[in-house]
């Protein structure tokens, strides 16, 4: 293969390189500019060469400055992204919803519950911990309740459970107000029952010890739409009596299927 011959440097090119070398090593072009005849150049040629040299230096300085600015901008943007990510992570960790989740998790892990609330095979406590409950309030006291909305669930009641927590109960819901009759039946722990009208007002409270065959009904002329079962003495120990109102009934989470099966 034929090789391309390199052309020899021109005389003008040599002069330019020599001038640049002198310019750099002598600290400027003043001496060279005053004596252009040293290199066989006229003053106009020397002026043109010096202008080109200065222009080249300025362009290189601009390129270096632009490159430095680009690097600083990139570094600043990266720092802002890292700071933003850290801030978002901290905000998520300290947000109210995160605090509630952490509290719920710690509550499930807690082993400091009373002996009355320790589950030894209780389906009621399991359902409560699984979140299958609603919350109602009476005189400021919070109560977690399971819902009995269908005829089958109301007939079973707590008879299929072995234990109940201290602030847990079951709320029986009927399509409309009616006369209700309750009995302890085969439930393994003593209960108190409160009958409520459609507004949630308590019309009667009765105690049902284990093994009792006594039946408890709503007062004459005072039908009920709800019945609330809790541990025996729960109402009395908190000063809750007839006439008090159960709050939160309008916020109960009842599925569409349960509403359709309600009878």
Q: For the chain, what percent of residues have pLDDT higher than 70?
A: 59
In this predicted structure, what is the pLDDT of residue 261? 61
Q: Which of 101-115, 141-155, 210-224, 245-259 has the lowest mean pLDDT?
A: 101-115
Q: Which of 149, 133, 144 is nearest to 257 (CA)?
A: 149
- Phi and psi torsions of 53, nearest 5°: -65, -45
In this predicted structure, what is the pLDDT of residue 206? 98
Q: Which of 179, 124, 173, 180 is nearest to 149 (CA)?
A: 173
196 close to 145: Cβ distance less than 8 angstroms = no
Most confident of 107-111, 120-124, 131-135, 137-141: 137-141
* Residue with more model confidence, 255 or 190: 190
Q: Which of 64-73, 187-196, 204-213 has the lowest mean pLDDT?
A: 64-73
Q: For the chain, what percent of residues have pLDDT higher than 90?
A: 43
State yes or no: pLDDT of 23 exceeds 60.
no
Strands 181-182 and 134-138: what pairing?
A: unpaired
**pLDDT tier at 127, thresholds 50, 70, 90:** low
**pLDDT tier at 133, thresholds 50, 70, 90:** confident
In this predicted structure, what is the pLDDT of residue 61? 82
What whole-number distance in Å separates Cα of residue 53 and Cα of residue 48?
A: 9
Mean residue pLDDT of the chain comes to 75
* Residue with more model confidence, 84 or 211: 211
pTM of the model: 0.51
Condensed to tens digits (0 to 9), the pLDDT of residues 145-168 reads: 999 999 999 999 999 998 899 999
What whole-number distance in Å separates Cα of residue 262 and Cα of residue 225?
A: 12
């Amino acid at each position: 293969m034929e090789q391309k011959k390199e052309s020899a440097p021109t005389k003008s090119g040599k002069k330019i390189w020599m001038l640049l070398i002198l310019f750099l090593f002598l600290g400027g072009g003043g001496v060279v500019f005053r004596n252009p005849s040293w290199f066989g150049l006229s003053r106009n040629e020397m002026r043109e060469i010096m202008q080109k040299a200065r222009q080249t230096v300025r362009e290189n300085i601009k390129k270096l400055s632009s490159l430095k600015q680009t690097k600083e901008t990139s570094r600043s943007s990266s720092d802002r992204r890292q700071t933003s990510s850290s801030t978002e992570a901290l905000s998520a960790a300290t947000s109210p919803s995160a605090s509630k989740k952490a509290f719920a998790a710690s509550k499930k892990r807690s082993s400091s519950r009373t002996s009355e609330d320790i589950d030894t095979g209780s389906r009621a406590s399991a359902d409560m911990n699984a979140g299958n409950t609603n919350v109602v309030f009476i005189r400021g006291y919070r109560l977690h309740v399971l819902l009995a909305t269908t005829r089958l669930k109301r007939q079973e009641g707590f008879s299929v459970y072995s234990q109940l927590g201290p602030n847990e109960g079951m709320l029986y819901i009927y399509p409309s107000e009616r006369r209700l009759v309750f009995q302890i039946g085969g439930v393994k722990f003593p209960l108190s029952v409160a009958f409520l009208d459609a507004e949630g007002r308590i019309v009667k409270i009765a105690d049902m010890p284990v093994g009792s065959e006594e039946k408890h009904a709503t007062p004459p002329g005072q039908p009920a739409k709800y019945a609330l079962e809790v541990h025996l003495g729960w109402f009395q120990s908190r000063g809750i009596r007839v006439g008090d109102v159960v709050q939160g009934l309008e916020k109960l989470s009842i599925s569409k299927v349960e509403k359709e099966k309600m009878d």
